[in-house]
Amino acid sequence: MNTRAHTLKFEISLITFLVAATCLLYAPKVNAATCVFSSTNLELGSVSEEVRCLQRYLNGAGFTVSDSGVGSAGSETNQFQSKTLSAVQRWQVANGVSPSTGTWGPLSRAKYLTLTTSTPAPTIPVPTTPTVPIVSSEQRSARSAIQDARDEYEDALEDYEDAKDDGDGVGKAKTYLSDAQEDLLKALYAFIDEDYAKALSYGKNAKESVEDAYDEMGGSGDDKDDAKQAIEDADEAYDDAKDEINDADDDGEDVDKARDILADAKDALKDAEDEYDDGDYNDAIEYAKDAEALIKKALKAL
């Protein structure tokens, strides 16, 4: 993945973390592991028991390396890979370590010592009835818009990378994805400032930019669903027509012309599937429609 795409993915990870931090302000903290780190930097590709202890610390401190499987709580490893890098970056941002590169170096080790060796704050009695923050409808709408835009952005970014790897045309998709990423950050800042109307507006703008990016890549998420449905409908119609033509043949009818036309429909259906695989969803829909038209013509030829 190129540097720009990696940066975008990190900044969206940052968005996910900060939104969660804002919305879950009252979540209880979990005790983290205590580690002794040497002067050796821990970075992408490092393999050591210090990495395992670092993962335990991050998982316990709320900066989850992985929700399940390798790197999750209880399944920490000695290998510093991309998920560990992302967790360290989130920890660095939250604790003011800059630049937040994801490398566990001198600044991170110093901050870690400050956090783990400081004098504990005095215990504050827990009230019998906990205070629950009131969430307004404006806040819920803004949060939902940001989350929806973030999810669609991440899907679009993955599709963009796949399209580039396949050599498909992507037009100005990268520009639109950058616009979406910028609007997501603005939405987050507005959300933190409790300007929920502005956060909602930026969230919607981000979603529109994602749709523009899909258009540049040959189709939106809705186009993809429509193409898939069109192919499935045509495929089902083809199977029904094939059965009907075979029944007519068993009854002694002349079905040669119908079978020739049905063969053309099969070719059109194959073209639709190829276009779908290439991400050309509008062309896939057109080929599926051609297939259905040929299927109807084949049945009329009986």
Whether residue 192 is found in the same domain as residue 170: yes
Instruction: Give the Cα separation of 180 and 195 in Å (integer).
Output: 19
Q: What is the CATH number of the domain that holds 87?
A: 1.10.101.10
Same domain for 113 and 44: yes
Specify whether 212 is located in the same domain as 247. Answer: no
Hey, what are 82's tokens? Answer: 């991309």
CA angle 226, 229, 235 (to 5 degrees): 140
- Nearest-angstrom CA–CA distance, 289 and 233: 9
Domain boundary among 83, 117, 151: 117
pLDDT of residue 121: 44
In the block, tokens 């062309």 appear at 283
pLDDT for 280 equals: 77
Please give the single-letter amino acid code of residue 21: A
User: Global pTM?
Assistant: 0.35
Q: Are 41 and 97 part of one and the same domain? A: yes
Handedness of CA 196, 198, 180, 96 (dihedral sign): negative
- What per-residue confidence (pLDDT) applies to 14? 53
Domain closes at, from 216, 246, 264: 216
Give the mean pLDDT per block of 10 residues along the chain (302 residues): 50 51 39 78 95 94 93 94 96 94 94 76 46 74 92 90 82 90 92 92 94 77 82 95 93 93 96 86 91 94 86
φ, ψ for residue 104, nearest 5 deg: -90, 90
Count of domains in the chain?
3
Q: In whole angstroms, what is the distance from residue 209 CA to residue 183 CA?
A: 9
In a domain, residue 57? The reply is yes
Cα atoms in the 13 Å half-sphere on the side-chain side of 165: 9
Residue 122 counted as domain residue: no
In a domain, 85, yes or no: yes
Q: Both 158 and 238 in a single domain?
A: no
Are the beta carbons of 36 and 48 closer than 8 angstroms?
no
Q: What is the predicted pLDDT for the residue at 170?
A: 80
DSSP 65: S
Query: Do the beta carbons of residue 284 and residue 273 sit within 8 Å?
Result: yes
Do 243 and 277 have their domain in common? yes
Domain assignment present for 1: no
Q: What is the pLDDT of residue 164?
A: 82
Residue 286: name the closest of 296, 298, 300, 274 by CA: 274
Q: Decide if 22 is inside a domain.
A: no
Looking at the structure, do residues 113 and 37 belong to the same domain, yes or no? yes
Last-in-domain residue among 181, 216, 251: 216
Domain for residue 4, yes or no?
A: no
Q: Write the CA distances from 163 to 8, 44, 170, integer angstroms.
A: 17, 27, 7
Domain that holds residue 286: 221-300
pLDDT recorded at residue 3: 47
In this structure, the answer to whether residues 31 and 112 fall within a common structural domain is yes
Residues 208 and 225 in one domain: no
> What pLDDT shows up at residue 187?
92
Residue 150 lies in a domain: yes
pLDDT of residue 166: 82
Distance CA 180, CA 187 (A): 10
Residue 2 within any structural domain of the chain: no
Q: How far apart are CA 89 and CA 239, in angstroms?
A: 53
Do 147 and 162 share a structural domain?
yes
Both 237 and 259 in one domain: the answer is yes
Instruction: Give the C-alpha distances (Å, rounded to integers) separating 124 from 21, 62, 115.
Output: 22, 21, 19
Q: Are residues 31 and 108 both part of a single domain?
A: yes
Contact 168, 225 (CB under 8 A): no
